[in-house]
Amino acid sequence: MRVGLFIPCYVDQFFPSAGMATVELLENHGCDVAFPEAQTCCGQPMANAGCSGDAAAAARHFVDTFSGYDYVVSPSGSCVAMVKHQYPKIVGNAASSVVSKTYEICEFLLDVVKVTQLQASCSKLVAIQMACHGTRELRLATGSERPALPTFSKPRQLLEMVDGMQLVELQRPDECCGFGGLFSIDEVDVSCAMGDDKLSDFQQARAELVVSTDMSCLMHLGGLSSRQDRGLKFAHIAEVLNGDWA
Amino acid sequence: MKHPEAAAGFVADSAKSSWHDQALWGVRTKRDAAVSAIPEWEELREQGARIKAWSLAHLDDLLVQFEAQCQQNGIVVHWAADGPEHNRIVHGILAKHRVKKLVKSKSMLTEECGLNEHLEAQGMEVIDTDLGERIVQLRHEPPSHIVLPAIHLQKEEIAETFHKTMGTPADMTDETELTRAARKDLRERFLQAEAGVTGVNFAVADKGIVVVCTNEGNADLGAGLPRLHIACMGIEKIIPKFDHLSVFTRLLARSATGQPITVYTSHFHKPKPGGEMHVVIVDNGRSALLGRKDFRRSLGCIRCGACMNTCPIYRRSGGHSYMATVPGPIGSTLAPSKDPKTHDSLPFASTLCGSCTDVCPVKIDLHQQLLAWRGELVKMGYGDRKKIRSMKLAGKVLSSPTLYKLAGIGARIALRGPRFVLPSEAKKWLTNRDLPPVPAESFRARYRRHQK
Ligand code: SF4
């Protein structure tokens, strides 16, 4: 099973450990991982700014780079949602060679690799930052808006396979963190107010480590937390599943 | 002023903004509890969405059928192409009956058309009778929410308004006492009114009846006491059959406040004996919206307000920050279709978190519409030009692996350097947030070593 790994641009530059944890997790579960060096960005920043023509150039490049693999896997729910939900709109049929085989790392591990156990442990009190696109576009978990549906959460299911895992419960488990890409700059005041509320929710639950399926949320939350010396730690879920937080 | 500045003003008072957030989150929580008691909720939403889609696709026929049925019931039907025509028609009916004083129950349509201002300018007295609407009317403010018009006000502020306008004791801040004072004042006005204007929640085509939902019974008093009742509705309020009504009454109150049904769900079939009943049907940009594929589903809105209560931006920035008749996610998709220039910041006042889409009882794809509006606005030449230029550059960089690598190296170097060399975007980021520490190696570099 040849897996093409997509690493979002900001993860490549700022969070190499999240990328490496993804590589190791996949390899340890028998995947033949390749990181095509020609990859750039999924194009989401342009699409969200309303510049879908410019996003289309990045999207076509993504399709060219990845169409030869059996699967495309990424440690970012947001980029995967972009590929699955926006590519068909902005590049049409050209998207079909990647749309159905692109997966976020958690859903890939559970639904394709069918992981049932992990060689990892964690000693921290952990809060899950449910990233919005993971929850409401990829449906990695039942959103709090849909309480009449059966409850499940793929990130939680995987974290519970980690030895010693202690998950804390939040008051608003899937409230948006306020990042939102350009929103974090355009609407800086609301964005930071939302982030502060999330940090307070993590702290009232006594969390020590906040994990997410998207580093972008954590870049925003971590930036706020570090400025205010809140003392919280942040990690991509792949790092915890890979045993990097033993 | 655009949304970010208006929002910054509301957020600056962090105690108030966080109280507002909590109050609306409380409403959302009640909605969740009501929804979890209905196992078939998601099917009900699907049914609601389908009935609305069908109604919008057959709107022309349904409206004509509705008109004929109303006429058979003795209701006079009027058609208005836009807000000014609507106001002229309503004024004409009132003037014919020499009405000087009228009472009005909640209607976002008359808010949209500016009916109160129009009638007041012609010397008529218009009293809003929904408690929240009455409060904002006394303060000369627009409503900040479509279901909870005065949700931006704390009880002390309301006490002050009542003290100034109705002479209640300055220290009377108890909710029950304030409500009693308003009710006493309103009773007088109901008795004096010569006409009642109401909105319409649902217009049933096969029966020619209008349905009005309230919790206070104010629409019933307003429509029942005076001889003259005028009901004002947008063309999209039509539902095909009486049998469809229960789908919506089940969805509406649960979504709005978590109640199983509104306290009053009144069906108006015909004029009262000796009285007159008029229905004014208004387009005001709706048929144009119906012609826009990406946005027409927004016409299915039943104005429950759930998308506002769940919106993390609305909860923190307050309804007035949208500067549109309807605020929140649905307002942000409706407003640009009328006036893209004024409202060009609204589709960007969202993280696209998608919560609105998932609470909407008629499954309007709200966050997808906001995204689609961003593209439309950029095409029309609105939005931030500087940002668009940088996106064009980014588009070029990101479709070329070589340029991309160079840009990555550049960013890593820039972020290690002094802050004043950073572009203004990065400076904005840094006002309240740190940037992550720049690692010694990028992922690419580490991966290359890992492969060896
Ligand atoms: S868009 Fe949906 S959730 Fe928002 S007010 Fe309308 S019906 Fe309610």
Q: Average pLDDT of B383-404? A: 65
Are B131 and B265 within one domain? yes
Residue B402: closest CA among A61, A38, A10: A38
**Residue B120: alpha-carbon gap to chain centroid:** 25
Helix (H) or strand (E) holding B424: helix B424-432
pLDDT over threshold 70, residue B386: no
For residue B369, what are the domain limits? 3-9+293-383
**Beta bridge mates, A166:** A125
Category of B104 on φ-ψ map: left (φ > 0), alpha (ψ -120 to 50) or beta = beta
Q: Give B320's contacts in chain A (Cβ within 8 Å).
A: none
Q: Average pLDDT of B186-210? A: 97
pLDDT confidence bin for B343, thresholds 50/70/90: very high
Q: Average pLDDT of B95-122? A: 97
Are B346 and B400 within one domain? no
Provide the pLDDT for residue A1: 84
Q: Which two tokens stand for residue A121?
A: 């442990």
Are B210 and B298 within one domain? no
Return the ∠ at Cα A232 (arms to B312 and A119), rounded to 5°: 105
Helix (H) or strand (E) holding B233: strand B228-234
pTM of the predicted structure, to 2 decimals: 0.94
Q: Is B96 among the domain residues? A: yes
Residue B397 CA to residue B147 CA, distance in Å, equals: 47
Burial of B251 (0-12, 13-18, 19+ CB in 10 A): buried
Does ligand 1 lie within 6 Å of residue B305's CB atom? Answer: yes
- Closest CB to B443 among A20, A58, A137: A20
Residue B176 CA to residue B158 CA, distance in Å, equals: 12
Does ligand 1 lie within 6 Å of residue B370's CB atom? Answer: no
Scanning B406-425 for CB atoms below 8 A from A yields 408, 411-412, 425
Beta carbons of B439 and A16 less than 8 angstroms apart: yes
Tell me how many domains chain B contains: 3
pLDDT over threshold 90, residue B448: yes
Residue A82 CA to residue A78 CA, distance in Å, equals: 6
- Dihedral, B136, B137, B138, B143 alpha carbons, nearest 10: 10
Beta carbons of B88 and B178 less than 8 angstroms apart: no
Phi, psi torsion values for B167, nearest 5 degrees: 70, 25
Beta carbons of B178 and B168 less than 8 angstroms apart: yes
Say which amino acid occupies A50. Answer: G
For residue B371, the domain's CATH number is 1.10.1060.10
Are B56 and B197 within one domain? yes
pLDDT confidence bin for B420, thresholds 50/70/90: very low
For residue B118, the domain's CATH number is 3.40.50.10420
Residue A176: closest CA among A130, A210, A142: A130
Are B97 and B172 within one domain? yes
Residue B242: closest CA among B271, B205, B199, B201: B205
Q: Average pLDDT of A46-56? A: 88
* SS3 category, B6: helix
pLDDT confidence bin for B399, thresholds 50/70/90: low
pLDDT confidence bin for B405, thresholds 50/70/90: low
Are B162 and B237 within one domain? yes
pLDDT over threshold 50, residue B418: no
Are B114 and B201 within one domain? yes
pLDDT over threshold 90, residue B241: yes
pLDDT confidence bin for A148, thresholds 50/70/90: very high
B267-271, B361-365, B431-435: lowest mean pLDDT where?
B431-435
| Residue B319 C-alpha, separation from nearest chain A C-alpha, in angstroms | 13
Give the dihedral sign, CA B235/B240/B242/B248.
negative
Q: A89-112, pLDDT tens digit by residue?
A: 999 998 999 999 999 999 999 999
Say which amino acid occupies B412. Answer: R
Are B106 and B233 within one domain? yes
Q: Average pLDDT of A107-131? A: 97
Q: B42-97, pLDDT tens digit by residue?
A: 999 999 999 999 999 999 999 999 999 999 999 999 999 999 999 999 999 999 99
Q: Which two tokens stand for residue B417?
A: 């350097």
The DSSP-derived string for B58-69 is THHHHHHHHHHH
Burial of B386 (0-12, 13-18, 19+ CB in 10 A): exposed
Q: At which of B284, B307, B322 does a domain end?
A: B284
Provide the pLDDT for residue B429: 86
- Dihedral, B170, B173, B176, B182 alpha carbons, nearest 10: 40
Provide the pLDDT for residue B389: 62
Higher confidence at residue A180 or residue B392? Answer: A180
Length of chain A: 246
Q: Give A137's contacts in chain B (Cβ within 8 Å).
A: 354
Q: At which of B344, B368, B383 does a domain end?
A: B383
Q: Average pLDDT of B262-278? A: 96
% chain A with pLDDT above 70 = 100
Provide the pLDDT for residue B391: 66
Higher confidence at residue B411 or residue B18? Answer: B18
This complex has an ipTM of: 0.96
* SS3 category, B125: strand
Residue B262 CA to residue B248 CA, distance in Å, equals: 11
Give residue limits of the domains in chain A.
Answer: 2-112, 125-241
Q: At which of B224, B254, B284 does a domain end?
A: B284
- B418 C-beta neighbours (distance < 10 Å), count: 7
Burial of A135 (0-12, 13-18, 19+ CB in 10 A): buried
Are B117 and B224 within one domain? yes
- CB environment A60-69: b (16+ within 10 A), e (fewer): bbbbbbbeeb
Q: Which two tokens stand for residue B448?
A: 């290359």
Provide the pLDDT for residue A221: 97
| Residue A179 C-alpha, separation from nearest chain B C-alpha, in angstroms | 7
- Closest CB to A54 among B357, B395, B432: B395
Closest residue CA from atom 3 of ligand 1 = B360
% chain A with pLDDT above 90 = 91
Say which amino acid occupies B308. Answer: M
Q: Is B32 among the domain residues? A: no
A58-62, A71-75, B234-238, B410-414: lowest mean pLDDT where?
B410-414
Provide the pLDDT for residue B403: 63
